Homo-oligomer: A and B are copies of this chain.
Amino acid sequence: MSVTLADVAARAGVSAATVSRVLNGNYPVAGPTRRRVMQAVDELEYVVNGPASALAAATSDLVGVLVNDIADPFFGIIASAVQSELGPADPTGGRGGRAQQKLAVVCNTGGSPTRELTYLTLLQRQRAAAVVLTGGAVEDPHHSAALISRIGRLEAAGARVVLCGRPPLRAPEAGRQAETGTEAERDTEGEEGEGAAARGPLAVTFDNRGGARQLTAHLLTLGHRRLGYLAGPAARTTTRHRLEGHRAALAEAGLDGDAERLTVYGRYDRSSGYDGAMELLRREPGLTAIVAANDTVALGACAALRERGVRIPQDVSVTGFDDLPFAADAAPALTTVRLPLAEAGIQAARLALGRDAAPPGGVATCPASLISRASTAPPPPA
């Protein structure tokens, strides 16, 4: 078949073990020997057999990254950051050895809870060294339980699991009841101690609530009193947190009575923003501001408003969330909330690799900051 460790060993005149040690660099090997081995590796164009080494070492160099939608820059930016922290640095030659290289496996769940579970299983099957779960979680008790159990099994198998951009997972009622202890479960739990923290995975979260509050407060300060809200899918943590921040700001101004009526739920995409804005205009023609769940939705809303002949921001102000690159390029440039996506991805990767110490409480929260641009202004005098 292809070149194996033994072939290299033969050519270098050493044992297979020595070659392995040279390649992994985690054991002292004499200089001349090491050079002979490296030369043989080069001459034979030897490439380690990953599966074999993963089998023997009981761990692989794969790191899973679960995202809701790769085509969405929000996730692309996070995934890119995670990978840059794991992956091969540019100068690396990339020959046989260099076992330090982690390979990121970016998995697209499409927001489907089932697929999320399936990928987790696939990753466990590959004996992934770590898994980073990005994006908001679906808030369904059934799914949460399944997710927690799957993650528990991954951790029990030695994988580090880190949440990025989603709130920490808490078992409903902290698993006080042990009545479901089947034989298999007991086995698993018995060995859980060796893996990561038994308290559940580490998390890097965004201050969605705080960001949303600031944003709406900004609008209120400008003088807006009738604000519509274009929410994401119901039953998603991200959706809920942003909405809560918005409502909190409204409540502070005594404006929350009308909030439910002026909220439209949809997906995190452009057409949802378009449709939602139309619906909002129908429900409340006197609207002076539209707060969108994210930048993409905001862009859809802008399109709808333009089509209706409504001027932004003179007639209606519009805000986004996330501050994706295109937000600055929209016309008018979007007022939004900046989330440190890349920084969060890097931090999640470092935690996943065990390079950084766990943050206090197992949760690191990234700040959200208001970016005020041209899409917001005081409401029309009317």
Contacts and interface: CB of A to CB of B under 8 A. Distances in A.
Interface of A: 1-3, 43-45, 47-52, 54-55, 58, 60, 62, 69-73, 75-77, 79-80, 83-84, 87-88, 90-95, 101, 103-108, 110, 112, 114-115, 117-119, 121-127, 153, 156-157, 182-184, 187-188, 191, 270, 299-300, 302-303, 306, 325-326, 328-332
Contacts of A110: 84, 90
A180 to B, nearest CB: 13
Given A43-B183, A47-B125, A51-B55, 6 more contacts: A50-B125, A62-B105, A71-B79, A92-B118, A103-B107, A331-B331
26 contacts: A43-B182, A43-B183, A45-B153, A50-B126, A51-B55, A51-B60, A52-B55, A70-B76, A76-B76, A79-B108, A83-B107, A87-B108, A87-B119, A88-B118, A88-B122, A90-B114, A91-B114, A94-B114, A101-B118, A103-B105, A104-B105, A104-B108, A300-B329, A303-B329, A330-B331, A331-B332
A12 B328 CA distance: 61
Contacts of A191: 1
Contacts of A72: 73, 76
Given A106-B79, A188-B45, A88 B115 contact: yes
A139 to B, nearest CB: 19
Contact of A90 (B91, B115, B188): B115
Given A71-B76, A117-B94, A51 B126 contact: yes
Given A105-B106, A302-B329, A303-B329, A124 B47 contact: yes
Contact of A184 (B43, B79, B329): B43
A132 to B, nearest CB: 13
A183 B225 CA distance: 79
Contacts of A300: 329
Nearest to A332: B331
A181 to B, nearest CB: 13
A148 to B, nearest CB: 14
Contacts of A114: 90-94
Contacts of A103: 105, 107, 119, 122-123, 126
Nearest to A299: B329
A121 B94 contact: yes
B121 A108 contact: no
A155 to B, nearest CB: 12
A44 B188 CA distance: 10
Contacts of A95: 121
A66 to B, nearest CB: 12
